[in-house]
Amino acid sequence: MRNIVCRMIVLGVIAFAALPVLAQPYPARPIRLIVPFPPGGGVDIVGRTVGEKLGARLGQTIVIDNRPGAGATLGTSLAAKSTPDGYTLLVAPVIGLAIAHAYYRKLDYDLRRDFAPVSKIGFGTVVMVVPPSLGARSVKEAIALAKSKPGELSFASSGTGGLIHLTGELFRQMAGVNILHVPYKGTSQLLPDLLNGRVSLAIDSLPAHLPHIKAGRLLALGVARRNRSAQLPEVPTMSEAGLPGFESYTDYALYAPARTPPAIVSKLNQEMMPVLQLSDVRARLSGIGIEVAGSTPQALQAEVSSEITRWTKVIKDANIGQ
């Protein structure tokens, strides 16, 4: 009897000691932030920049976990299957994830079902660039040249099935031109052929091309966004240049696994907003061509659904996908 009483007392003490731990407000330990791309790229820089400041506001360290591979689907899948307790988050592009959702038919996660959007972080500019040797000085001239030489012009991308490939397909469809897709293993690989005129054009993320545009080695014909870019204020939007409604951009957002408690999602969103207003954060991201743009979880969810619909049509019309 005495042993039973002693065990009950011990269990009671353990349970009582655990109560403060259970009652601790979120977050009570470090947070893992999955980046489904290698270190050094745009998404990684955004994750590290925002993660450091968000962690400071939350009072916990945010640890970056780079999990690249398979068009960002490996890291995204890992995040989708993580415990929905707020201690594993994902920073990734809205459009990139939407394209993967539409392009790959056998993903083991569903973008709309398996994630709780937290906030948009920002977006970067996609620009149409051509070598001066092409002889086109505007989007309209490039389209006219492509139509006069069906199948002879080409567009470069940083890989099949990615944003830049699908943006080229969107251009091909909206402009009504027959141009050849030439995939590379990244922008750094396509640049030499673009600069030498071995490929006709690219509609790619701005940062890698900006030095060549400034030096006159490439011509920027249009930016694929609603408003002109602060980095290239003299370059028209693609809509202004003759393709109304043509939009594509790199973007960045924060997600949690589905079924993460709404209170945690709300707290993360509320703490993210002041982070995005910090002058050093805005300066760091502006330096790589990213404009800050926060959002509510609901607005981000609506954007995800809209982008899935848009890029599903592009992929279907192009008769591509896996």
Task: Mark whether 111 and 257 lie in a shared domain.
Answer: yes
In a domain, 262, yes or no: yes
Task: Mark whether 50 and 108 lie in a shared domain.
Answer: yes
* pTM assigned to the model: 0.80
More confident residue, 322 or 318: 318
More confident residue, 5 or 135: 135
Task: Mark whether 104 and 131 lie in a shared domain.
Answer: no
Task: Mark whether 48 and 102 lie in a shared domain.
Answer: yes
Task: Mark whether 145 and 116 lie in a shared domain.
Answer: no
Task: Mark whether 292 and 151 lie in a shared domain.
Answer: no
Task: Mark whether 131 and 153 lie in a shared domain.
Answer: yes
Which of 171, 206, 223 terminates a domain? The answer is 223
With bands split at pLDDT 50, 70 and 90, how would you rate the model's confidence at 7? low
Segment 162-175 shows an average pLDDT of 94
Which residues are within 8 A (CB) of 310 and not within 5 positions of it... i.e. 6 or more apart? 98
pLDDT at 22: 45
Task: Mark whether 118 and 129 lie in a shared domain.
Answer: no
Q: Domain holding 255: CATH number? A: 3.40.190.150
Cα separation, 198 vs 298, whole angstroms: 45
Task: Mark whether 66 and 207 lie in a shared domain.
Answer: no
In a domain, 236, yes or no: no
With bands split at pLDDT 50, 70 and 90, how would you rate the model's confidence at 12? low
Mean pLDDT (the chain, rounded): 90
In a domain, 1, yes or no: no
In a domain, 13, yes or no: no
172 has a pLDDT exceeding 90: yes
In a domain, 90, yes or no: yes
Cα separation, 59 vs 54, whole angstroms: 9
Exposure letters 72-86 (e unless 16+ CB within 10 A, then b):
bbebbbbbbebebeb
The amino acid present at 61, given as its one-letter code, is: T
- How many CB atoms sit inside 10 A of residue 299's CB? 13
Rg (CA), the chain: 23
More confident residue, 164 or 8: 164
In a domain, 295, yes or no: yes
In a domain, 14, yes or no: no
pLDDT tens, position by position, 275-301 = 999 999 999 998 878 899 999 999 999
Task: Mark whether 217 and 166 lie in a shared domain.
Answer: yes
Q: Domain holding 165: CATH number? A: 3.40.190.10
Task: Mark whether 157 and 186 lie in a shared domain.
Answer: yes
pLDDT at 166: 92
Structure tokens at 66: 């780079």
pLDDT at 17: 46
pLDDT tens, position by position, 13-67 = 454 444 444 457 999 999 999 999 888 878 888 999 999 999 999 999 999 999 9
In a domain, 231, yes or no: no
Residue-range definition of the domain harbouring residue 266: 30-122+250-318
Give the per-residue SS3 of the chain: CHHHHHHHHHHHHHHHHHHHHHHCCCCCCCEEEEECCCCCCHHHHHHHHHHHHHHHHHCCCEEEEECCCCCCHHHHHHHHCCCCCCCEEEEECHHHHHHHHHHCCCCCCCCCCCEEEEEEEEEEEEEEEECHHHCCCCHHHHHHHHHHCCCCCEEEECCCCCHHHHHHHHHHHHHCCCCEEEECCCHHHHHHHHHCCCCCEEEEECCCCHHHHHCCCCEEEEECCCCCCCCCCCCCECCCCCCCCCCCEEEEEEEEECCCCHHHHHHHHHHHHHHHHCHHHHHHHHCCCEEECCCCHHHHHHHHHHHHHHHHHHHHHHCCCC
Number of domains in the chain: 2
Task: Mark whether 107 and 164 lie in a shared domain.
Answer: no
